[in-house]
Chain A
Amino acid sequence: MDKTVNQKAWFLVLPVLILVAFSAVIPLMTVVNYSVQDTFGDNVFFWAGLEWFEQMLRDDRMWDALGRQLLFSGIILLIQIPLGVFVALNMPKRGFWASFCLVVMSLPLLIPWNVVGTIWQIFGRVDIGLLGYTLDALGIDYNYTSDPLAAWITIIVMDVWHWTSLVALLAYAGLQSIPDAYYQAAKIDQASRWKVFRYIELPKMMGVLMIAILLRFMDSFMIYTEPFVVTGGGPGSVTTLLSIDLVKMALGQFDLGPAAAFSIMYFLVILLISWVFYTVMTNLDKRDG
């Protein structure tokens, strides 16, 4: 089919371009501005070129944070996606209990992030927290303020508690869109439960699962509030994820130049990973189709 060329169509996207310019591009440009300049105060800036970028790339600090960040996102995806699908598969399909489950599962999603952090911060405390106290009473050595493993387990369990519902709700929506005839045909064809999942439910959920993975990846990669409230990045810096590190650098140490360079690279990494992910998924889709 021939495509009609009509340059006037650009005017139709103009409002969006303006909106995006003000909400994203212009703020981003100020960061770019900081990243290539240096200052000694008094709002006087000097051109620094790519110096900050070079410095950051040579600095182990950022690479360590990136490593921790990838580990964190990887672990929570490996837990939340299968768990979310499992929960969705076991939810009632209709009736009162379906609505009940939906409401209960939405609750963690509605809690402000710093409150989530506070809840777990207190929950895990050995002196007054239910979880910490119980574990301590059972003789398990658990202290997220001093033990790196305990700190990691705490922030991972917290994230799983907070966000698995989102994956479950998306997967549930995918499951609900499967017509009954598919299940009936599977019964007639004598398909096992596993085959029903593998050949009917999973393919039909694939679209929403991709969205779930992408959302959970991006969100977890940018996570700040909850782990900051619980561990503050500690003990030491074992739970200092990228954005916690960035805030420490930008606001704690007021190293604007390096922090700006850090921000831009952070942004580019997210963009890159999301793009790779998206491309791989759409290609898989095309290959199947």
Chain B
Amino acid sequence: MAKITLDNLAHSYLPNPGSEDDYALKELNHDWEDGAAYALLGSSGCGKSTLLNIISGLLQPSQGRILFDGQDVTHAPTAERNIAQVFQFPVVYDTMTVRDNLAFPLRNRGRDEAYVAARVAEIAAMIGMEEMLNRKARGLTADAKQKISLGRGMVRQDVNALLFDEPLTVIDPHMKWELRTQLKSLHHQFGHTMIYVTHDQTEALTFADKVVVMYDGRVVQIGTPDELFQRPEHTFVGYFIGSPGMNVIPAKVEGNRAYVDGVEIALGHGYGPLEGKVELGVRPEYARLSRDRGLPVTVRRVEDVGRHKIIRAEFFGHDINIIAGEDDAVGADMTRVTFDPERINVYANDWRVTPQHTARGEAA
């Protein structure tokens, strides 16, 4: 177990990177605290796996350093870093039995057989494969193979960190919950530093203490699930987290008033002068459809997803989503929308603007 420090880290797959666009991973400084469970969330190709492979030593970064508990391991080979990693697609040793697969990392490190047997039994119970220990891994389903991969990742107790690269992609939904829960309880039990890469927000939010959101090779926000939901630091975070994501509406902001197409919207806080592209971000959960209050909106479609209704609407030429309770009636005469002023975030050039404290008094 170790604290992992990324110091000025960046990586490009090109031999001579020029502009910033050449970098798959843009300059990054971050401490992964010892014993914390992190989720690394982002869409495909945003640099998540690159970062993971740099930490595990499968990839050498173009610049910067990685430190484990203050010790520079940037150029240390994977074996020396003592890291466990589970990949997106199952990697099993086909010709070995399930038992030998699970024992493989321990035997390679020369642990004695009694210890190996005990660990294998423990892990087999955890992944629910005790019955299959003597079977060859070859004929098993993708599900079972991935469970073996997970098991192989967890079999060593002394690892510095456990890295998961979208490990549950091939597992069926009900098993996903179960395995994720097990991973979490494993974390509570042994306190390994865990980094879990995923593009599935539910997976990230349920697994991690802290979620690291990446976008275009950059870490855009690190925070608890609640912080990501309430105060997305970047429009991408707002859009990526939440279902549907945050509504982003171009606007003009003056003090504690915003104007969309010249129509005024009240904000919960005041803002100084803003430059660049200014937008309002409101989660669909904080928008409300109404008959007589608020601003005009044209409802295009209502989707009932069971636990609530999602209303797809047009607001001054922009598509927005509104969430209404499952039991709320949505009538044809409901042509207005209100936003909760406290929950509106203001963005300049895609980054969240911190409100001015003094503005609060004026708004009241």
Contact = CB atoms under 8 A, between A and B. Distances in A.
A182 interface: yes
A200 B93 contact: yes
Interface stretch (B17-25, B81-89, B220-228): B81-89
B295 interface: no
A51 B149 CA distance: 65
B91 A182 contact: yes
Contacts of B85: 184-185, 188
A263 B83 CA distance: 63
A190 B84 CA distance: 10
A288 B56 contact: no
A289 B58 contact: no
Given A181-B87, A184-B85, A191-B104, 4 more contacts: A184-B53, A184-B56, A187-B58, A199-B104
Contacts of A185: 85, 87, 91, 149, 152
Interface residues of A, number: 18
Given A288-B136, A288-B138, A289-B139, A188 B78 contact: yes
A189 B104 contact: yes
Contact of B108 (A179, A195, A204, A288): A195
Interface of A: 179, 181-182, 184-185, 187-192, 195, 199-200, 203-204, 288-289
Interface of B: 53, 56-58, 77-79, 83-85, 87-89, 91, 93-96, 104-105, 108-109, 136, 138-139, 149, 152-153
Contacts of B152: 185, 189
Nearest to A206: B95
A190 B87 contact: no
Contacts of A189: 104-105, 108, 152
Contacts of A289: 136, 138-139
B120 to A, nearest CB: 14
Given A184-B58, A185-B85, A190 B105 contact: yes
A288 B137 CA distance: 9
A187 B78 contact: yes
Given A188-B56, A190-B109, A181 B79 contact: no
Contacts of B94: 203-204, 288
A289 B140 CA distance: 8
Nearest to A182: B91
B214 to A, nearest CB: 20
Nearest to B104: A189
A195 B57 CA distance: 20
Contacts of B96: 199
Contact of A190 (B88, B93, B108): B108
Contacts of B53: 184
Contacts of A187: 57-58, 77-79
A228 to B, nearest CB: 42
Nearest to B91: A185
A127 B254 CA distance: 100
For B53, B85, B88, B152, which residue has the most chain A Cβ atoms within 10 angstroms? B85
Nearest to B94: A203
A191 B108 CA distance: 6
